[in-house]
């Protein structure tokens, strides 16, 4: 058994993909949310692409007078192409294109109406209140750099600047396996000694959240099924970038996942990690005719596998996705409740990070065992406790790995 630290496990996994380059594809904006840009996205045209009015008002050809004849009224999307002579005005709605003959827009609050005529009641400097062409950017300007995660705001910018196909990294192909005869799917009859396969929903959702295209398969740990399941996993693993499994990697009689991986030709990188929870773990790599498939075998216990997934799988997924930043942010905050555990190895405690009077506070989950489940519903952070640290009283400063936004 080769036992390594979490740092060494990550180093070995990173080293197994030294020259990986994600594939590039072009997708429509409605397929691009959360994807990573593979190339710079540029402006197809200036923005704004025409001179426009910042508010409802009247476009004029400025001169010394204060009274104007309104010759037309237009709304957004309509262009007035007729002449606008001195002493004439065109009424505009917000965002309208300013007629070519006009150089000033008078806000509607600054005029009195007299039939078809208006009188300007305030002094407006000639040339005022027109947003020029290209105020925000010129054609060809880089608006979203390569390596950017496409948020709703970024998609809005890309579309608003004329892009209808976006260059993104292809989603990594992941085979996700759960293991164990004790697991049943929702809707199936659960007998004594069995539990529902919550891991199937936890990790398929997390894999998709971090940008993977997921294929799911359940492996029983029955010895009579091993040959058929090796064949099934071998078929499903073809062309995949990563295999993630939960369960079957400890030292029990029916922990068969390492046997399956060995049958697929995997080279073992490690088979245990000095961390709690999450020590039961397997790392490996398959060389499939020059295409490398990483393997992450995680514990079947929900809390243990949750920790290992975030510490090991997420950085790999981000790298496969083409993301530049692969690490979770870390902050130091105050401990909201005591942690009474001894720490013979590095420990990662699940909990909730909140803010009290503007200061971050980490509250550990009530149950801190490997098999704990309920706390996962609200966990947004892991507290990192170094090996040898004594039990920690409430109020102790502690380092936190922030997994998602603070509520």
Confidence bin at 214 (pLDDT 50/70/90): very high
User: Are the C-beta atoms of residues 309 and 343 closer than 8 Å to each other?
Assistant: no
Angle, nearest 10°, between helix axes 6-15 and 314-321? 30
Confidence bin at 209 (pLDDT 50/70/90): very high
Q: Provide the b/e sequence for 338-353 (b: ≥16 CB within 10 Å).
A: ebebebebbbbbbbbb
Counting every residue written for the chain, the total comes to 407
Confidence bin at 21 (pLDDT 50/70/90): confident
Q: How far is CA 253 from CA 52, 249, 269, 284, in A?
A: 74, 10, 22, 21
**pLDDT for residue 355:** 94
Kindly tell me the burial class for residue 396, based on how many C-beta atoms sit within 10 Å of its own C-beta (0-12, 13-18, 19 or more).
middle
Whether residue 254 has pLDDT greater than 60: no
Q: How far apart are CA 349 and CA 144, in angstroms?
A: 37
**pLDDT for residue 17:** 84
- Both ends of the chain: CA-CA distance in Å? 41
Helices (H) and strands (E) in the chain, counts: 7, 26
| Cβ-proximal residues to 229 (8 Å cutoff; 6+ apart), any chain | 219, 220, 260
| 3-state secondary structure at position 207 | helix
**How many of the other CB atoms lie within 10 Å of CB of 219?**
23
State the DSSP string of 283-346: EEEEEETTEEEEEEEE-SSHHHHHHHIIIIIHHHHHHHHT-S--SPPEEEEEESS-B----SSE
Confidence bin at 118 (pLDDT 50/70/90): very high
Residue among 196, 241, 191 nearest 218 (CA):
196
Q: Which domains occur in the chain, in start order?
A: 3-23+170-321 (3.40.980.10), 26-46+135-169 (3.90.105.10), 57-120 (2.170.190.11), 330-402 (2.40.340.10)
309-331: average pLDDT: 91
User: Are the C-beta atoms of residues 21 and 291 closer than 8 Å to each other?
Assistant: no
């Amino acid at each position: 058994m080769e036992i390594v630290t979490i740092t060494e496990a990550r180093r070995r996994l990173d080293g197994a993909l030294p020259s990986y380059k994600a594939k590039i594809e072009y997708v429509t904006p409605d397929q691009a949310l959360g994807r990573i840009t593979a190339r710079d996205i540029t402006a197809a045209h200036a923005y704004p692409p025409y001179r426009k009015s910042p508010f409802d008002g009247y476009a004029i050809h400025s001169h010394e007078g204060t009274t104007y004849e309104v010759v037309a009224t237009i709304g957004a999307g309509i262009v007035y192409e007729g002449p606008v002579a001195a002493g004439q005005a065109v009424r505009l709605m917000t965002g309208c294109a300013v007629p070519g003959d006009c150089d000033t827009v008078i806000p509607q609050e600054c005029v009195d109406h007299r039939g078809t005529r208006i009188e300007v009641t305030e002094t407006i400097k000639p040339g005022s209140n027109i947003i020029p062409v290209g105020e925000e950017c010129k054609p060809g300007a880089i608006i979203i750099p390569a390596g950017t995660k496409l948020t709703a705001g970024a998609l809005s910018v890309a579309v608003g600047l004329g892009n209808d196909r976006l260059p993104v990294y292809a989603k990594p192909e992941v085979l996700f396996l759960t293991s164990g005869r004790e697991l049943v799917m929702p809707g199936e009859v659960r007998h004594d000694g069995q539990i529902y396969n919550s891991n199937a929903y936890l990790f398929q959702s997390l894999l998709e959240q971090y940008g993977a295209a997921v294929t799911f398969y359940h492996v029983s740990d029955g010895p009579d099924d091993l040959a058929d399941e090796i064949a099934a996993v071998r078929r499903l693993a073809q062309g995949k970038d990563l295999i993630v499994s939960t369960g079957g990697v400890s030292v029990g009689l029916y922990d068969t996942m390492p046997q399956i991986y060995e049958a697929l030709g995997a080279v073992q990188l490690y088979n245990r990690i000095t961390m709690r929870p999450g020590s039961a773990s397997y790392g490996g790599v398959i060389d499939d005719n020059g295409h490398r498939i990483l393997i992450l075998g995680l514990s079947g216990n929900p809390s243990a596998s949750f920790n290992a997934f975030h510490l090991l799988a997420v950085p790999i997924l981000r790298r496969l996705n083409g993301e530049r930043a692969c690490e979770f942010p870390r902050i130091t905050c105050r401990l909201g409740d005591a942690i009474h555990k001894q720490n013979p190895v590095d420990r990662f405690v699940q909990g909730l990070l909140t803010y009290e009077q503007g200061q971050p506070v980490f509250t550990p989950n009530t149950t801190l065992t490997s098999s704990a489940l309920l706390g996962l519903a609200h966990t947004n952070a892991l507290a990192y406790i170094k090996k040898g640290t004594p039990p920690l009283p409430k109020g102790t400063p502690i380092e936190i790995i922030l997994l998602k936004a603070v509520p």
